């Protein structure tokens, strides 16, 4: 199986030994504590689950600035986005303290992780702007960019140091059939006997074009299996809730994929909307979960018109150093149903087609149809998937 990023073995930061976990929970009751931001909590979940291997905790100011500028830590580890614990004020916390990190997303704010504070540093306004510019390029000051807004809302004080993760926030309890750690996915891949695995990222329901793209990638790469890996964390207003996406995707896999060819899983992370940089981060943690290939499509991890349609592909060609990652990228063009050929194809592979030769529906148009109880055409969406989405839109009227 493909090796994790940066180490020979996966090193998740979750404390799996039940006695040790319980002892840490008791210790945390007597530690100074902070309620962290949702982004910091999501980072803890990803560190605990092994997706952020080989990181051992939250980055220092120097590492974060180096990652933002050059996609590598000060020690030279390739990494595309800062992994930080940002707060507005460290209060009475001092370097050398051991503190409890409390979950902002669960009632009662239970302890999510225990942290050894190795440094407390403050970013200047200019440094925050630099990180925003580099990570959310090309125009971080664009009004309404949810990633930039969420990043800057956390505060400028950086607490860095190793952590021990005690639970997986709300993801394991709210999505017991879908949330999986990188450890669990690696184990299931081994149990299924898959050697070549392609991963597909989604934060939306999968329509026919997405389904066919996965079939194309599996066929062209000669893959044994597909891991559909959906984001279960915070999205932007208007996005389809995770339980609805999960139900729609599972129905699609049940009806339209051969048995033992696809896994439906999810991970606990908030969407960054960082476009190309987030595409690279997605590749890192797909390698850590055991995928050998990863599909990068049109406007991957984008928001609005902030990025070019294929910026998340070109970053691998122009900015990711050779050998930085072992996982291979499957570049995908926009896929759509061809009326001429009576099937879904990549639009770039049909030079004789015009726009009128494809069934093209905007996201807004599809939402309008679903909200009005009208199923999108069969060339756009499987009827069984459309029904689940129509039922959801009917429920929120």
The predicted-structure confidence for 188-233, as pLDDT tens digits, reads as follows: 999 999 999 999 999 888 999 999 999 999 999 999 999 999 999 8
Is the per-residue pLDDT at 379 higher than 60? yes
Q: Which of 267-281, 353-367, 375-389 has the lowest mean pLDDT?
A: 353-367
In degrees and rounded to multiples of 5, residue 252 shows phi and psi of -60, -45
pLDDT-derived band at 239, boundaries 50, 70, 90: confident
For residue range 324-349, what is the model confidence (pLDDT) as tens digits?
A: 999 999 999 989 999 999 999 999 89
pLDDT of residue 309: 81
> Closest by alpha carbon to 131, among 154, 109, 151?
151
Per-residue pLDDT at 235: 66
CB 31 within 8 A of CB 99: yes
**CA-based nearest residue to 287, from 235, 250, 323, 233:** 323
The pLDDT of residue 397 is above 70: yes
Q: By mean pLDDT, which of 53-62, 301-310, 366-375 is the weakest? A: 301-310
- Percent of the chain exceeding pLDDT 70 equals 98
- The hierarchical CATH code for the domain 176-395 is 3.40.50.620
Active site residues: 203-204
How confident is the model over 46-55, as a mean pLDDT? 98
Q: Using an 8 Å Cβ cutoff, are 77 and 54 in contact? A: yes
Give the model's pLDDT for residue 302: 76
Spatial separation of the C-alpha atoms in residues 160 and 90, rounded to whole Å:
12
Q: Quote the pLDDT of residue 322.
A: 94
Task: Please say whether the beta carbons of 244 and 205 come within 8 A.
Answer: yes
pLDDT computed for residue 334 by the predictor: 87
Q: How far apart are CA 228 and CA 261, in angstroms?
A: 11
252-277 average pLDDT score: 94
Continuous segment of H or E residues that includes residue 335: strand 335-338
* Torsion of Cα atoms, 263 then 268 then 274 then 276, to 10°: -30
The position carrying tokens 């959801």 is: 392
Average pLDDT over residues 148-174: 95
| Domain residue extents for the chain | 18-172, 176-395
Q: How far is CA 67 from CA 63, 83, 311, 367, in A?
A: 6, 9, 19, 38
pLDDT of residue 318: 95
Q: Which residues contact 98 (CB under 8 A, 6 or more apart)?
A: 27, 31, 114, 115, 116, 117
Task: Give first-to-last CA distance, the chain, whole Å.
Answer: 47
Q: What is the pTM of this model?
A: 0.94
C-alpha–C-alpha distance, residues 178 and 73, integer Å? 32
How sure is the predictor about 109, in pLDDT bands with cuts at 50, 70 and 90? very high
Amino acid 386: pLDDT: 93
Q: Which CATH superfamily is domain 18-172 in?
A: Sulfate adenylyltransferase (3.10.400.10)
- Scan for tokens 């339980």, then name that residue: 243
Tell me which of 164-178, 229-243, 291-305 is least confident: 229-243
Q: Determine contact, residues 119/157, Cβ cutoff 8 Å.
A: no
pLDDT category of residue 140 using cuts at 50, 70 and 90: very low
Residue 270's alpha-carbon distances to 42, 45, 138, 151, in angstroms, are 6, 10, 21, 11
Output the pLDDT for position 236: 65
């Amino acid at each position: 199986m493909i090796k994790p990023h940066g180490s020979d073995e996966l090193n998740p930061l979750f404390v799996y030994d039940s006695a040790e976990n319980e002892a840490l929970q008791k210790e945390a009751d007597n530690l100074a504590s902070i309620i962290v931001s949702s982004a910091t909590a999501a980072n803890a979940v990803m560190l605990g689950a092994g997706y952020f291997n080989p990181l051992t905790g939250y980055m220092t100011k120097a590492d974060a600035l180096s990652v933002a500028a050059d996609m590598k830590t000060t020690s030279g580890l390739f990494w595309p986005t800062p992994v930080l614990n940002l707060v507005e004020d460290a209060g009475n916390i001092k370097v050398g303290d051991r503190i409890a990190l409390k979950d902002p997303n669960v009632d009662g704010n239970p302890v999510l992780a225990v942290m050894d504070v190795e440094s407390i540093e403050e970013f200047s306004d200019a440094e925050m702007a630099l990180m925003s510019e580099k990570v959310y390029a090309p125009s971080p000051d664009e009004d309404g960019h949810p990633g930039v807004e969420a990043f800057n809302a956390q505060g400028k004080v950086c607490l860095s140091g190793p952590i021990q993760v005690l639970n997986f926030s709300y993801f394991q309890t709210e999505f017991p059939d879908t949330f999986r750690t990188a450890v669990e996915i690696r184990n299931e891949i081994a149990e299924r006997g898959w050697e070549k695995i392609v991963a597909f990222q989604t934060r939306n329901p999968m329509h026919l074009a997405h389904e066919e793209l996965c079939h194309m990638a599996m066929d062209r790469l000669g893959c044994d299996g597909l891991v559909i890996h959906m984001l279960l964390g915070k999205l932007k207003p208007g996005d389809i809730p995770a339980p609805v996406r999960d139900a729609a995707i599972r129905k699609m896999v049940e009806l339209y994929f051969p048995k033992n060819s696809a896994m439906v899983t999810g991970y606990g992370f908030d969407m960054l909307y960082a476009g190309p940089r987030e595409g690279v981060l997605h590749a890192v943690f797909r390698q850590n979960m055991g995928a050998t290939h990863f599909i990068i499509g049109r406007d991957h991890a984008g928001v609005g018109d902030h990025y070019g349609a294929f910026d998340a592909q070109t970053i691998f060609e122009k900015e990711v150093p050779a050998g930085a990652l072992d996982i291979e990228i499957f570049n995908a063009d926009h896929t759509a149903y061809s009326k001429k050929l009576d099937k879904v194809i990549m639009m770039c592979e049909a030079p004789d087609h015009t726009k009128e030769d494809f069934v093209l529906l905007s996201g807004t148009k599809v939402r309008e149809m679903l909200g009005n109880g009208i199923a999108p055409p069969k060339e756009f969406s499987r009827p069984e998937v459309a029904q689940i989405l129509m039922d959801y839109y009917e429920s929120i009227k």
